[in-house]
Homo-oligomer: A and B are copies of this chain.
Amino acid sequence: MNAPAHPEHLLPQVAQRDVPQALIDALRQRFAERCSTALVVREQHGRDESSFAAPPPAAVVFAESTADVSAVVALASEYRAPVIPFGVGSSLEGHLLAVQGGISIDLGRMNKVLSINAEDLTVTVQPGVTRKQLNDEIKSTGLFFPIDPGADASIGGMSATRASGTNAVRYGTMRENVLALEVVTASGEVIRTGTRARKSAAGYDLTRLMVGSEGTLGVITEITLRIYPLPEAVTAAVCSFPSIEAAVRTTIQVIQIGIPIARVELIDVNSVRMVNRYAKLGLREEPMLLMEFHGSPNGVKEQAEAVQEIASDHGGKAFEWASTPEERTRLWTARHNAYFAAIQSRPGCRAISTDTCVPISRLADCLLDSVAEADASGIPYFLVGHVGDGNFHFGYLLDPDLPQERVTAEKLNHQLVTRALALGGTCSGEHGIGLHKMDFLVSEAGDGAVEIMRTIKRALDPHNIMNPGKVFTL
């Protein structure tokens, strides 16, 4: 595998497709001021948290119902124009960019929690509901939705990218927690996949085909999720280690003996330094694990004691415990602020993030070699990881005025992904493929499997209008 092309060089290869004025006129007629062609609106919908750039979409439609979405897609299908679903714009791999032009469908106004079935531990929401909003709205039921990708992403976007985050080690990812969907297909038809039953062996698993399809097979207009009773007891702990390796070996052992830890996050010494400077936390400037335990009071105590013993065996020290919500928030501030602290540490920089995930036994090998490479590169970086799942992120902090840094960072990412794949891992633990990892997907899955994906795409979206140019080339 050769080093991937510099991303800016990838984008111009894709031709912008024609968006006929007749389509814009038809959308305006149907949606009036809810169809915008103002440049500022289009530009806002033509980017995400990635560092890529492409011309903005030709128009943005603010959908308020499934019927609205269906109408947009049906018109787009008639005129063969791309449609790009937009949640809150927090995706990281260029998913939202109108690389082939087209219409952005903003789903932010479809933000109702439609039903809370507390007795069944399920909830049904519109795609524009964000995860924090959802947790606010269900708090009074004593239930919560655990998937936490960091950003206050929309549930629709989290479903479309198969998101996960800090709680996945215990509660799974969107793959495990989406029970059912309503989807507008490429013809504008509305289908339902799955039911509220916890399990089913009825036909093809269209729910999980749509989850992670990044808008390329349909627009998700309704999501039924599993939710969970708030644990009786929650304890968080932070522990410093003499080395990243010691922290990682602790994590591996915790997972291998089956301790049902809810969260276990690695924060490298660079991140600790940046966060200390940003938020004056006064943390020991050593690699850290941030952990959280959920369960009964006794169960939490047992888990925490077992983990502390394992950590001590690996030189872990300065255990700090937090049982009250306020203390926990203080500890988790380090993790949640890592990104912003890092950005501030190099004024004017852009962060680009890696996202590999490997089998847990290979985590130390994968991570330590990549740390050595990153250190040698001279590029400022930070490292955080959902290490209980074998998933971690380097954040390379690039000066946009120094193109060579981008080349170096892409090379580091390429080496990391190559290493992760060789160790039986994946090029994306949770961010998705988008524009950036199409070559990596082929390396990981093989030509044959990607051709099966293309075949499905062509069959379900014959005019290639659903978020075209993402996941794979057609």
Contacts and interface: CB of A to CB of B under 8 A. Distances in A.
Interface of A: 117-122, 161-164, 168, 172-173, 175-176, 185, 189-193, 195-206, 208-209, 211-213, 217, 228-229, 231, 252, 255-258, 295-296, 298-299, 302, 355, 357-362, 389-391, 421, 424-433, 437, 440-441, 444-446, 448-450, 452-453, 455-456, 458-460, 471-472
Contacts of A205: 162, 175, 205, 208-209, 211-212
A185 B209 CA distance: 17
Contacts of A191: 445-446, 448-449, 452
Given A258-B229, A361-B120, A445 B175 contact: no
Contacts of A121: 255-256, 360
A213 B205 CA distance: 8
Which one of A199, A296, A458 has the greatest number of beta carbons of chain B within 10 Å? A199
**By CB atoms of chain B within 10 A, which of A189, A191, A359, A362 has the most?**
A359
A196 B433 contact: no
B201 A431 contact: yes
A215 to B, nearest CB: 12
A255 B456 CA distance: 38
Contact of A357 (B118, B198, B389, B390): B198
Nearest to A431: B201
Given A117-B361, A256-B119, A448-B190, A453 B203 contact: yes
A245 B224 CA distance: 28
Contacts of A202: 426-428, 432-433, 437, 440-441, 444-445
Nearest to A426: B200
Contact of A203 (B173, B296, B355, B433): B433
Contacts of A211: 205
30 contacts: A119-B256, A119-B359, A161-B201, A172-B199, A173-B199, A176-B176, A190-B448, A191-B445, A191-B446, A193-B449, A195-B426, A195-B444, A197-B390, A197-B424, A198-B359, A199-B389, A199-B430, A200-B429, A201-B426, A201-B430, A201-B432, A202-B440, A202-B445, A203-B472, A298-B298, A298-B299, A298-B302, A456-B456, A456-B459, A459-B459
Contacts of A228: 258
A400 to B, nearest CB: 26
B360 A120 contact: yes
Contacts of A424: 195-197
Contacts of A472: 203
Given A122-B359, A199-B168, A229-B257, A206 B425 contact: no
Nearest to A163: B201
A449 B206 contact: yes
A197 B299 contact: no
A433 B452 CA distance: 24
A302 B444 CA distance: 44
A455 B449 contact: no
A121 B431 CA distance: 24
A4 to B, nearest CB: 15
A228 B255 CA distance: 10
A159 B109 CA distance: 40
Given A448-B189, A452-B185, A459-B455, A201 B302 contact: no
The 7 closest A-B pairs by CB, nearest first: A459-B459, A229-B258, A119-B361, A208-B208, A200-B426, A120-B359, A191-B448
A200 B459 contact: no
A445 B193 contact: yes
A203 to B, nearest CB: 5
A373 to B, nearest CB: 20
B390 A441 contact: no
A194 to B, nearest CB: 8
A471 to B, nearest CB: 6
A125 B147 CA distance: 31
A445 B361 contact: no
Contacts of A295: 299
Given A175-B205, A190-B448, A453-B204, A429 B299 contact: no
A366 to B, nearest CB: 10
Nearest to A425: B197
Scoring A185, A203, A296, A453 by chain B CB atoms within 10 A of each residue's CB, the highest score goes to A203
Contacts of A255: 121
